[in-house]
Chains A and B, each alone.
Chain A
Amino acid sequence: MSTFSDASGAIAPLPKARRATGFGGVLPALAFVAIFFIAPVAVLLLRSVLEPVPGLGNYAQLIGSATYLKIFANTFIVSGLVTVISLLIGFPVAWALAIMPGRLTSVIFAILLLSMWTNLLARTYAWMVLLQRTGLINKMLIGMGLIDKPLALVNNLTGVTIGMTYIMLPFIILPLYGVIRKIDPSTLQAAALCGANRWQCLTRVLLPLAMPGMAAGALMVFVMSLGYFVTPSLLGGTANMMLAELIAQFVQSLVNWGMGGAAALVLLVVTLSLYAVQLRFVGNQNPGGR
């Protein structure tokens, strides 16, 4: 058994021989993760350079085709749009939540958590119905006299962007809320005392201080959007495929493991490098969601 000293830290521990302890505890999980996570993903990626013939042919095909390039473009454009809109809506909401009186804040937090926890398919289904030609949104817009003919809001990238923004909003509001709450109000008082007006306080004190949180949240939303499968395929329609759906298509309908693996590797590399950027510059944030 270990001594008291290493728990409290008050007594300097005696120098002892470096010994591995506790490794037995992680062994079952390590074995599980190695067999059912690392190995399958590694094999999939290997197949991208081995099938149908060894080489980089799959990657050349992926980059060389206008169809696939359009899918990459779709994926990045939608993810970028979702990130920017989430940030534009999420910042004022997080700001308000950080300073608003308690009662209203807890109601809005409850709504945020409810929408986050509600089944993803239930939420996506709701948007499929809401955004239809005859759906509530179109009816309301026509009723308000803003448009004469129903807009095509679903089965295109507009639908995907609306649905994805809906899903991502809590993921940007919650971390931003944490960051803004930690800002010391006296820094803003000091700025005001030095003669800054409200606008200057916002752009030169509050926004820069919230920047790490905004960067972390934005990066997380962007990365999650890149790999999303369910919402884009239900709200996007077949003509506007995104990367995750392409991977699924290669494997399920075309049974082309080489191309599927290649597309998966592209997604994986982009995802992991963006996470590396995040870890390097803005510290760790726990992601979640599908």
Chain B
Amino acid sequence: MLLNFDRLGWWKYILLAITLLTAAFLLLPIVFIAALSFGSSQWLIFPPPGWTFQWYSELFADPRWLESAWTSFKIAVIVTILSVLLGLVTSFGLVRGSFLFRDALKALFLTPMILPVVVLAVALYAFFLRIGLGGTLAGFVISHLVLALPFSILSISSALEGFDKSIEDAAVLCGASPLEAKIRVTLPAISHGLFSAAVFSFLTSWDEVVVAIFMSSPTLQTLPVKVWATLRQDLTPVVAAASTLLILLTILLMALVAVVRKVLKQ
């Protein structure tokens, strides 16, 4: 009876109230920031005295904001491509291969997910200082790839495990070369895994702050670092405008994922 909503009696209303309040709590900052970004008060007073696009025009007028957004995008795209490619090759090895320490190796590949990011950030910072990669595009790409690769390996491996290899073997029997069979039979079959890997990798890199704080230089910084640096000085509504655009991007990406999932299912 506790697992039947209609038979919960008055408990039902308590559960419903807690759930709706929690949903409101989760939604509050997101809606609030979007509303504030159009508010005319410099001091972030809510409700604002009037409405304005001023913060958006300040955002777009400042080349440093655009530049850091472009840097973030560039890094995220490169990381996504590398992460999916490397994840694909690695997953084939992990799922299809049989060698000593295979499971241990898989666990090792996933450890960056559970390691506190600040430890990795500090360690890479020291390493890149020494070899001169600090503040470079390559430094950003490498460090974000360390964080994105586990998500890629996880998504692609699980897709590959769910794929019946005998279909690929059948294609080989029908005259396809092993590589051709992989490209024309296996890859389309695991495309949902590749897609998840790409989305996770992109978002991991795009949203990454901690490593980026250590990696950035005065001339090269990502959007999250720019937001971080601005926030340390003051709570200007320009950050609200930037945040709202980021939230919009999230919603678009979520919609894209939902659409692609639906298409891939058919």
Contacts and interface: CB of A to CB of B under 8 A. Distances in A.
Given A41-B123, A134-B45, 16 more contacts: A8-B166, A19-B98, A23-B93, A24-B93, A32-B145, A33-B109, A39-B127, A41-B119, A96-B18, A122-B246, A126-B28, A126-B30, A223-B114, A227-B115, A252-B214, A290-B210
Interface string A126-147: 1111101011100100000000
A220 to B, nearest CB: 9
A201 interface: yes
Interface string A22-51: 111111111011001101110110010000
A185 B115 CA distance: 38
Interface string B92-125: 1110111110000100110111111111111111
A136 B36 CA distance: 11
Nearest to A192: B1
A21 B178 CA distance: 15
B116 A288 contact: no
10 contacts: A7-B164, A23-B93, A25-B90, A37-B111, A37-B120, A96-B15, A120-B209, A126-B243, A166-B29, A229-B116
A248 B254 contact: no
Interface of A: 1-2, 4, 7-8, 18-30, 32-33, 36-37, 39-41, 43-44, 47, 89, 92-93, 95-101, 107-108, 110-115, 117-130, 132, 134-136, 139, 166, 169-170, 180, 183, 185, 188-189, 192, 198, 201-202, 205-206, 223, 226-227, 229-230, 234, 244, 247-248, 251-252, 257, 260, 264, 267-268, 271-272, 275, 286-288, 290
Pick the 6 closest A-B CB pairs, nearest first: A22-B97, A25-B93, A227-B116, A126-B29, A122-B243, A40-B123
Contacts of B66: none
Given A22-B96, A122-B33, A101 B239 contact: no
A241 to B, nearest CB: 12
B9 A198 contact: yes
B1 A189 contact: yes
Interface stretch (B51-59, B73-81, B186-194, B227-235): B227-235
A119 B29 contact: no
Contacts of A118: 30, 246-247, 250
A139 B19 CA distance: 24
A215 B247 CA distance: 32
B209 A93 contact: no
Contact of B3 (A23, A188, A272, A275): A188
Interface residues of B, number: 97
A205 B33 CA distance: 42
Given A93-B19, A166-B25, A267 B116 contact: yes
A27 B109 CA distance: 12
A8 B167 CA distance: 10
Given A119-B224, A129-B44, A28 B90 contact: yes
A47 B125 CA distance: 14
Contacts of A23: 93, 97, 99
B86 A32 contact: yes
Contacts of A95: 15
Contacts of B93: 22-27
Nearest to B168: A7
A123 B30 contact: yes
B70 interface: no
Contacts of A268: 115-116, 119
Given A113-B254, A115-B27, A37 B146 contact: yes
A222 to B, nearest CB: 12
Nearest to B239: A125
Contacts of B109: 29, 33
B215 interface: no
Contact of A126 (B33, B94, B115, B154): B33
Most buried by A among B11, B89, B126, B213: B126
A222 B112 CA distance: 17
B29 A123 contact: yes
Contacts of B253: 117
B142 to A, nearest CB: 5
Contacts of A202: 2
Contacts of A96: 15-16, 18-19
Contacts of A100: 5, 16, 19
Interface string B200-233: 0001000111100110000000001001100100
